[in-house]
Amino acid sequence: MKLGFIGTGVMGNSLVKHLLDNHHEVAIYTRTAKKAENLVEAGAMLFESPKQVADKADVIFTMVGYPQDVEEVYFGENGLLQHAKENAVLIDLTTSKPNLAQRIFQAAAERGIHTLDAPVSGGDIGAQKGTLSIMVGGEQPTFISVLPLLELFGENIIYQGPAGSGQHTKMCNQINIASNMIGVCESLIYAKKAGLDPETVLRSISTGAAGSWSLSNLAPRMIKEDFEPGFYIKHFIKDMKIAAEEAEAWGLDLPGLRLSLQMYESLAAEGYNDNGTQTLIKYFDK
């Protein structure tokens, strides 16, 4: 199939590799061309705008940073909604605002274009291994039509409901992680103060009732003081703010989310915006 992919950052780069490895023709666009050099060498075609990708592809994935980036990619002068082919399928993998996903769906439907909001979870490791969890909103027939493509880089792929449902589900995911990350850090700090070997402690607790993806995948990075981004702090802050805004609109108080957001914002103020979310351990280890 002729595919398009917009945004080849930490995770997007790996996803394009999976598409190429399965013999698909992939047209790509990214604001920083250097990030796509390895993909071009692997056979991807690099273009200079979303419009050019839309001219080439029947199914286009987008994975950019912030809701304003999604706005530009879809609604901009060179955006997908202006230039995608009739009956094209546009799949936004970005974690973004539910109401933006609904706006995109409505605008696309008026032009005979199909869209899905399909944010993912699993970080850089999940992207590399092709084991991402994918939460999908939109029309179910559209979801079924592209499921074989999603299966190239995802394992737990679940249709959640109409447009915006994928993004709402991702907010549930991020709310869970927000509080869980505090617990992971507190347990490691406690182990250190108790004179225990944190790696040995992890072997005991990561497979029991305390087990979580963050404990298994991010706690080892904390112990090694490896703060390279699998998922940027700045993007996690963006996600938590979206969730907090939705909750506030409903009059819903989420103290765990609020506390985590405050802690990560304090790290961002100290210059850790471009570090991985496991850098939260620095908030405690002072």
Which residues carry out catalysis? 170
Residues in Cβ contact with 201 at an 8 Å cutoff, skipping those fewer than 6 apart = 187, 188, 191
* Cα first-last separation, the chain: 52
d(CA 48, CA 56): 12
Q: Please, which contacts does 258-267 make with residues 24 or more away whose CB atoms are closer than 8 Å? A: 259/179, 259/182, 260/178, 260/179, 260/181, 260/182, 261/178, 261/237, 263/182, 264/233, 264/236, 264/237, 264/240, 265/237, 267/233
d(CA 220, CA 262): 24
